[in-house]
Amino acid sequence: MAITTKHSKLGTVLAAGPKKMTVYLFEADKGAASTCSGPCAVVWPPVTSAGAPSSGGAAVAGELGTITRSDQRKQVTYKGHPLYYYAKDKDSGDSYGQGLKSFGAPWYVLAPSGNKVDQS
């Protein structure tokens, strides 16, 4: 899985996959453990990778990693944050999940710094 950057209405943000879809962090995740599973993972699918993730753009390769989810899939992390897509984002550049409170906590787009983009 390639993690790269793209320019959006929120500034330069992290994106994943061949379609360069926006990725999010979940504020309920503490440390490098995912707390989003079941119905949550349907709305917020985890960014997964069969092998080691790669970087492009301003994404820093040394900040990428993976964790093993409860379903044994490898979820990509960036600066320790498990990464997710938002199911309602259909095109590269969509960020409809930005700032949403869903499944008990807010969701935010990530900047290349690894910090959340705190604007809606």
Q: How many CB atoms lie within 10 A of CB 85?
A: 21
What pLDDT is stored for residue 91 in this prediction? Answer: 94
Average pLDDT for residues 6-34, to the nearest whole number? 93
Residues 6+ apart with CB under 8 A from 100: 86, 106, 107
What pLDDT is stored for residue 99 in this prediction? Answer: 96
- Answer whether residue 18 shows pLDDT above 60: yes
What pLDDT is stored for residue 57 in this prediction? Answer: 85
Amino acid (1-letter code) at residue 85: Y
Percent of the chain with pLDDT over 90: 83
Q: Look at residue 61 and give its three-state secondary structure.
A: helix
Rounded to two decimals, what is the model's pTM?
0.94
- Answer whether residue 120 shows pLDDT above 70: no
Percent of the chain with pLDDT over 70: 99
- Answer whether residue 86 shows pLDDT above 70: yes
